[in-house]
């Protein structure tokens, strides 16, 4: 390969994937893409998923067990949670301001509305049924795994984080009584380093993986171009609203926070994040992107492993600025399309419910829309309303996942900076 940074190769893979998927759909070869190209994308995604759980376990245990000062963990955890909740609330508020300004859905004709509800009604009812099984209290109780090996096997990230934290703390306590403990911590440290080496290897396949994932998504969406054009006509305003609000949150809120609270140059941060963002866009999963996010934040921005190994897995699981923002916009769009006025009180209650719903959203494709049902119920909108937006959920999922991942990295950078744990120079090299 000619000398070009990895993120450029990923970008080339992304553009080529879109073009390939488009041409394949237009020439009636979408089936070939699904049969032969899509598996390459799934293979790449599996490689990333394969290392996400062991990476969190090893690096979190090693990170916590090697903390020299036990109050540090509480401080880092506290700051992360405050920032995670704060940025999510602001993201939802931005979404609500933009959707009220643009007002998408107000002009949706009755025929289009009925056609969408009819076409997607069954799928929407299915999603609503899934959401009915989710209770916030159960989710809280469920953070503690009854069987940590089960949690690892099922990739239950929050449970894995909880167990790893407790194991790390226990090892710290034990080390005061038994100096041999240091060997165990060293093993976790080395295993974690080995996984980072694996990320390095897997990332060599990223351009091809991204190409395949994008080709498959575009070929599937473009199979019926007439329907796609119709959808873009009726739902284009809604999609544009989500994208503008996501961009505003990234460019205004993250940039301001970074400038005010850290000394990290914006250019370094923005450049370091590109590989993770491209991967988030292609995979629609913050969990699958996690190993790459960790690598970008550590090697590109210079955040110390002590912070990144704890703050990022936590963020990938509970912090979803993009999902919360999207849920707010989608709720107002559905209300507009159904001719329902939401007053200020109802819109404020969206901020709270969407924040909770985004925390409960699993970091995998499409779950943000399932959890939207909770927000709709809160403001008294019919859950079948998600039938109106289902058809265009995938591209928006790709975009909101980018913000979810960027938000985690921003908070990790701020927390590391406040602890004096950003490495200037020595670890910092091009993440790509």
Q: Which residues would be at the binding site for ligand ASP (CB under 6 A)?
A: 284-286, 320, 323, 361, 363-368, 397, 400-401, 404
| Contacts of 45 by beta carbon, 8 Å cutoff, 6+ apart | 209, 213, 283, 285, 288
Helix, strand, coil shares of the chain, percent, nearest 5, are 80, 0, 20
Q: Which of 204, 319, 192, 330 is nearest to 254 (CA)?
A: 319
Least distance from ligand ASP to the Cβ atom of residue 316, Å: 8
Q: What angle do CA 113, 115, 118 make, to 5 degrees?
A: 105
Q: Which residue, 370 or 421, is less far from ligand ASP as judged by CB?
A: 370
Least distance from ligand ASP to the Cβ atom of residue 327, Å: 8
| Contacts of 208 by beta carbon, 8 Å cutoff, 6+ apart | 13, 40, 44
| Contacts of 5 by beta carbon, 8 Å cutoff, 6+ apart | 430, 432
Q: Which residue in the shown chain puts its C-beta closest to ligand ASP?
A: 368
Least distance from ligand ASP to the Cβ atom of residue 97, Å: 20
Q: Which residue, 108 or 409, is less far from ligand ASP as judged by CB?
A: 409
The burial class, CB within 10 Å (0-12 / 13-18 / 19+), for 373 is: buried
Contact of 357 with 321, CB cutoff 8 Å: no
Cα dihedral 84, 89, 90, 96 sign: positive
Region for residue 349 given its phi and psi (left: phi exceeds 0; alpha: psi -120 to 50; beta: otherwise): alpha
Q: Which residue, 164 or 361, is less far from ligand ASP as judged by CB?
A: 361
Contact of 413 with 254, CB cutoff 8 Å: no
Which structure tokens are listed for 66?
């090697």
Least distance from ligand ASP to the Cβ atom of residue 348, Å: 22
β-bridge partners, 303: 422
Least distance from ligand ASP to the Cβ atom of residue 376, Å: 15
Cα atoms found within 13 Å of the Cα of residue 248, Cβ hemisphere only: 18
Q: Which residue, 277 or 401, is less far from ligand ASP as judged by CB?
A: 401
Q: Which residue, 285 or 417, is less far from ligand ASP as judged by CB?
A: 285
Least distance from ligand ASP to the Cβ atom of residue 383, Å: 17
Least distance from ligand ASP to the Cβ atom of residue 230, Å: 24
Q: Which residue, 234 or 358, is less far from ligand ASP as judged by CB?
A: 358
Q: Which residue, 207 or 360, is less far from ligand ASP as judged by CB?
A: 360
Q: Which residue, 347 or 401, is less far from ligand ASP as judged by CB?
A: 401
Least distance from ligand ASP to the Cβ atom of residue 361, Å: 5
């Amino acid at each position: 390969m000619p000398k070009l940074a990895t993120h450029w190769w990923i970008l080339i893979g992304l553009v080529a994937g879109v073009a390939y998927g488009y041409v394949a759909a237009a020439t009636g070869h979408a089936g070939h893409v699904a049969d032969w190209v899509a598996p390459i994308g799934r293979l790449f995604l599996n490689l990333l998923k394969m290392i996400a759980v062991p990476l969190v376990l090893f690096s979190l245990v090693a990170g916590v067990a090697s903390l020299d000062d036990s109050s540090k963990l509480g401080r880092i955890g506290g700051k992360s949670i405050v920032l995670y909740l704060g940025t999510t609330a602001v993201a939802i508020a931005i979404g609500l301001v933009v959707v009220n300004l643009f007002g998408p859905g107000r002009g949706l004709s009755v025929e289009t509305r009925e056609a969408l509800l009819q076409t997607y009604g069954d799928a929407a009812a299915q999603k609503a049924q899934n959401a009915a099984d989710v209770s916030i209290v159960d989710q809280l109780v469920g953070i503690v795994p009854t069987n940590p090996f089960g949690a690892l096997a099922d990739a239950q990230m929050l449970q894995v984080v909880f167990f790893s934290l407790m194991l790390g703390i226990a090892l710290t306590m034990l080390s005061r009584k038994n100096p041999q403990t240091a060997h165990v911590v060293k093993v976790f440290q080395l295993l974690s380093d080995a996984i980072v080496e694996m990320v390095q290897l897997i990332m060599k396949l990223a351009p091809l993986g991204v190409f395949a994932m994008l080709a498959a998504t575009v070929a599937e969406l473009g199979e019926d171009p007439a329907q796609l054009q119709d959808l873009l006509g009726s739902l284009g305003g809604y999609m544009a609203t989500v994208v503008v609000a996501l961009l505003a949150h990234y460019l205004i809120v993250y940039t301001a926070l970074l400038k005010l609270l850290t000394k990290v140059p914006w250019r370094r941060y923005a450049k370091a994040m590109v590989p993770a963002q491209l991967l988030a866009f292609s995979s629609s999963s913050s969990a699958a992107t996690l190993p790459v996010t960790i690598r970008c934040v550590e090697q590109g921005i210079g955040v110390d492993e002590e912070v990144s190994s704890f703050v990022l897995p936590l963020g990938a699981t509970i912090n979803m600025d993009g999902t919360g923002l999207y849920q707010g916009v989608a709720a107002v769009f559905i209300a507009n399309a159904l001719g329902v006025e939401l007053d200020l009180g109802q819109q404020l209650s969206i901020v709270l419910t969407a924040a909770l719903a985004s925390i409960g959203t699993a970091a995998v494709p499409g779950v943000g829309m399932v959890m939207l049902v909770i927000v709709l119920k809160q403001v008294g909108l019919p859950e079948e309303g998600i039938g109106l937006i289902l058809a265009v959920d995938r591209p928006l999922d790709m975009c909101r996942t980018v913000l979810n991942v960027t938000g985690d990295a921003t908070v990790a950078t701020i927390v590391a900076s406040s602890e004096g744990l950003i490495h200037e120079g020595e670890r910092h090299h091009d993440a790509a």
